[in-house]
C-alpha cells in the first residue's frame, strides 16, 4: 500500500533540517522472529494490533554471519500494511542497495556506522531518495563516532545485543549508552529518535524507555505466542 505514512506524519522540515515529530513511544516488531510461512499475515496482524513500525533486518552474511531478507521479500509484504517499514541494513557498504530498498518499499533505512566507509555520503544518499535515514551502532562501538553525523540523521539505532541473530539477552551496559545518547541529542538541540534493538521484552521495556529510547524493536517478545496480544501488552507497558 505505497510508502506508508505521509511525510508530514513522519517528520516536518524546518529550513534544510528534518525534525522528527514522534510524540509517543513506538513499537517496531522485528519480522526476523515471525513465521516466514505466514509473513504477510503476521505483518498485518501486528500492524492492526497497534504497531507503528515494521522492523526488517537485512543481513548479507558478511557484516553479520546470517543471511535474511532482500528486496523481493520486502516488496512482497509491502501490500499488507501502510505502516512504516523500518529497514535495518546489517550489510557491508549498504549504500549500494539504497535505491533498490526505496523501490521495494522502505520508509526508513538504517545503516551501520561500522559498515560504511563514507557514512556521510550514505546518509545523504538515503535522504536524497526520500527515505528517513538512521545510523546503527553495535554494542561496543563508542557514541563518539556519531559526533559529526548526528545532526544529519533522523534516528540512531543502538544495538543491545551483538547483531546477526534473534533471541539474545539484553546487554545491561546498553542502558547507560541510551542515557548518554539522549543527553547528546538534547545538548545539541536535536530531535533524533533513539531505537533500541535486541533482547527487549515486557520485563525491561519500561527501563529502556525511561533511559531515553522512544522506539523499541521486539522480535521473540512479539511473535512467540499470540502476536496481537503481545503487541497490545508491550504498547500498554510503553505508556
Catalytic residue numbers read: 57, 197
CA 95, CA 127: separation in Å to the nearest integer? 11
Q: CA distances (Å), 230 to each of 23, 25, 30, 79, 200, in order?
A: 22, 16, 13, 23, 12
Strand partners, 216: 27, 196
CA 43, CA 226: separation in Å to the nearest integer? 13
Which residue shows C-alpha cell 522540515? 13
CA 68, CA 71: separation in Å to the nearest integer? 10
For residue 203, what are the contacts with CB-CB under 8 A and spacing of at least 6?
A: none
CA 30, CA 53: separation in Å to the nearest integer? 9
CA 87, CA 112: separation in Å to the nearest integer? 12
Amino acid at each position: 500500500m505505497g510508502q506508508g505514512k505521509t511525510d508530514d506524519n513522519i517528520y516536518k522540515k524546518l529550513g534544510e533540517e528534518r525534525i522528527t515529530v514522534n510524540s509517543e513511544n513506538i513499537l517496531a516488531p522485528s519480522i526476523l522472529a515471525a513465521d516466514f510461512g505466514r509473513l504477510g499475515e503476521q505483518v498485518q496482524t501486528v500492524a492492526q494490533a497497534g504497531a507503528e513500525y515494521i522492523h526488517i533486518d537485512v543481513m548479507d552474511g558478511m557484516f553479520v554471519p546470517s543471511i535474511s531478507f532482500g528486496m523481493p521479500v520486502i516488496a512482497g509484504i509491502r501490500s499488507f500494511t501502510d505502516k512504516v517499514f523500518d529497514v535495518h541494513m546489517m550489510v557491508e557498504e549498504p549504500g549500494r542497495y539504497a535505491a533498490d530498498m526505496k523501490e521495494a518499499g522502505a520508509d526508513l533505512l538504517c545503516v551501520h556506522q561500522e559498515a560504511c566507509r563514507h557514512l556521510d555520503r550514505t546518509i545523504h544518499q538515503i535522504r536524497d531518495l526520500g527515505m528517513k535515514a538512521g545510523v546503527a551502532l553495535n554494542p561496543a562501538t563508542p557514541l563518539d563516532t556519531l559526533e559529526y553525523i548526528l545532526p544529519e540523521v533522523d534516528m540512531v539505532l543502538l544495538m543491545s545485543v551483538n547483531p546477526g541473530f534473534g533471541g539474545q539477552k539484553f546487554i545491561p551496559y546498553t542502558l547507560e549508552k541510551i542515557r548518554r545518547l539522549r543527553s547528546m541529542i538534547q545538548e545539541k538541540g536535536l530531535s533524533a529518535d533513539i531505537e533500541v534493538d535486541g533482547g527487549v521484552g515486557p520485563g525491561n521495556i519500561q527501563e529502556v524507555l525511561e533511559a531515553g529510547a522512544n522506539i523499541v524493536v521486539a522480535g521473540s517478545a512479539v511473535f512467540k505466542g499470540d502476536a496481537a496480544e503481545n503487541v497490545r501488552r508491550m504498547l500498554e507497558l510503553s505508556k
